[in-house]
């Protein structure tokens, strides 16, 4: 790839004119078995090996020879000062550094362990930067999500009422805002006409994505709980449903499309049968944590210490208060 670039047409000039210090650094970088970068000159123009390509994602191959600030504008305020520190002759290293990258068409949460070292040129000054990078996103996310699931599991057996189960669940979600930027749990009243908010996290009490009550309408496919659009919404006519757990996730009556169309652009009730709002386009939530969290909350709402008269109705997407049996 590097050989295909007309370097003479770039600010770096023809390869024959490159200093030996740069050539030596590039030789070490290209032969390394770890992801490495040589950022050269006052603009930190990028050279990198094949192991570094996954870090760039869709930014490759246009990043080759480009200034670092143009490659990573979304995190330059974080990494720029450290690049400048290395340019002054200092080294820098950090484990599990949170750097949200826009490398796949959206901004995603990423963590890296990095080591930045100065590269001395022929004058004895700093000609560039050598970066060794290891992505740790998978491990960091797994540890964080497992901690949330352990907390949910611990609360599931302790809840004595639906309200307690809901409050303990959103408290766990609130401590993990990276995976769960917000969550809302509802319960259907006895008459089946209104869904009442039990608990929420990440949103203010008056946020339009977390109304205290959701009016329900009667016309809906079997097993669905239809949601009426809010009075202020400018939405197309038609019914809005919370979704059937057995339905095709791409079906038109699914919650994401329904509530967004109805005027709640950030909110969606989970289609797997548990009333958790876990949707934010700027913070994609992995399906694994979403599904496992739903299972734990369902356990708390359907079992544990909750009396039989308040156990969850598994036929729909909301908690339903059942009348006591006589």
The pLDDT tens digits for 12-29 are 999 999 999 999 999 999
Residues (pLDDT < 50) of the chain are 218-284, 304-326
Instruction: Return the pLDDT at 268.
Output: 31
Under DSSP, the state recorded for 192 is: S
Residue 325 located in a structural domain: no
Hey, is 178 helix, strand or coil? coil
Residue 326 located in a structural domain: no
Question: Do 262 and 312 lie in a common domain?
Answer: yes
- Angle at CA of residue 10, ends 5 and 13, nearest 5°: 95
Region at 41 (left for phi over 0; alpha for psi -120 to 50; beta for the rest): left
Tell whether pTM > 0.85: no
Instruction: Return the pLDDT at 20.
Output: 96
Question: Do 251 and 114 lie in a common domain?
Answer: no
Question: Do 307 and 163 lie in a common domain?
Answer: yes
Question: Do 32 and 126 lie in a common domain?
Answer: yes
- Alpha-carbon span 170 to 176, nearest angstrom: 10
Look at residues 34, 84, 44 and name the one whose alpha carbon lies nearest to residue 65: 44
Q: Which residues fall within 8 angstroms of residue 199, CB to CB, at 6 or more apart?
A: 163, 166, 167, 169, 170, 184, 185
Q: What is the CATH number of the domain that holds 28?
A: 3.30.450.20
Residue 275 located in a structural domain: yes
Number of domains in the chain: 2
Question: Do 254 and 295 lie in a common domain?
Answer: yes
Give the domain-ending residue among 135, 160, 179: 135
Under DSSP, the state recorded for 14 is: -
Hey, is 200 helix, strand or coil? strand
Question: Do 255 and 292 lie in a common domain?
Answer: yes
Give Cα 4 to chain centroid, integer Å.
36
Instruction: Return the pLDDT at 167.
Output: 85
Domain that holds residue 305: 139-320
Q: At what angle do helices 162-174 and 137-156 cross, to 10 degrees?
A: 160
Question: Do 304 and 215 lie in a common domain?
Answer: yes
Look at residues 139, 162, 194 and name the one whose alpha carbon lies nearest to residue 301: 162
Question: Do 247 and 158 lie in a common domain?
Answer: yes
Question: Do 32 and 161 lie in a common domain?
Answer: no
Give the domain-ending residue among 107, 135, 163: 135
Instruction: Return the pLDDT at 118.
Output: 98
Question: Do 76 and 183 lie in a common domain?
Answer: no
Is the backbone peptide bond immediately before 61 cis, with ω within 30 degrees of 0?
yes
Question: Do 152 and 291 lie in a common domain?
Answer: yes
Hey, is 170 helix, strand or coil? helix
Q: What is the CATH number of the domain that holds 203?
A: 3.30.450
Strands 194-201 and 183-188: antiparallel
């Amino acid at each position: 790839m590097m050989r295909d670039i007309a370097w003479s047409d770039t600010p770096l000039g023809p390869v024959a004119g490159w200093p030996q210090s740069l050539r030596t650094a590039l030789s070490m970088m290209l032969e390394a078995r770890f992801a490495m970068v040589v950022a050269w000159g006052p603009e930190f123009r990028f050279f990198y090996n094949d192991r570094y390509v996954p870090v760039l994602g869709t930014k490759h191959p246009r990043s080759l020879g480009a200034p670092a600030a143009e490659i990573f504008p979304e995190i330059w305020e974080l990494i720029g000062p450290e690049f400048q520190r290395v340019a002054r002759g200092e080294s820098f290293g950090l484990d599990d550094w949170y750097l949200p990258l826009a490398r796949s068409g959206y901004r995603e949460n990423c963590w890296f362990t990095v080591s930045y070292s100065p590269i001395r040129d022929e004058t004895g000054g700093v000609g560039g930067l050598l970066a060794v990078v290891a992505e740790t996103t998978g491990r960091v996310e797994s540890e964080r999500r497992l901690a949330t699931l352990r907390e949910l599991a611990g609360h599931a057996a302790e809840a004595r009422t639906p309200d307690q189960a809901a409050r303990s669940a959103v408290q766990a979600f609130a401590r993990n805002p990276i995976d769960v930027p917000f969550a809302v749990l509802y319960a259907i009243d006895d008459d089946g006409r209104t869904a009442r908010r039990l608990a929420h996290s990440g949103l203010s009490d008056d946020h339009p994505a977390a109304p205290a009550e959701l009016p329900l309408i009667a016309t809906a496919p079997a097993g669905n709980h239809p949601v009426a659009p809010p009075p202020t919404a400018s939405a197309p006519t038609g019914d809005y449903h919370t979704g059937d757990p057995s339905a095709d996730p791409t079906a038109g009556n699914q919650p994401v499309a329904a509530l967004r169309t109805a005027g709640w652009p950030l909110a969606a009730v989970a289609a797997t049968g548990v009333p958790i709002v876990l949707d934010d386009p700027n913070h994609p939530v992995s399906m694994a944590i979403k599904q496992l969290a739903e299972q734990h909350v369902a356990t708390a709402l359907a079992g544990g210490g909750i009396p039989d008269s308040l156990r969850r109705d598994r036929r729909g997407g909301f908690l339903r208060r059942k009348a006591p049996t006589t």
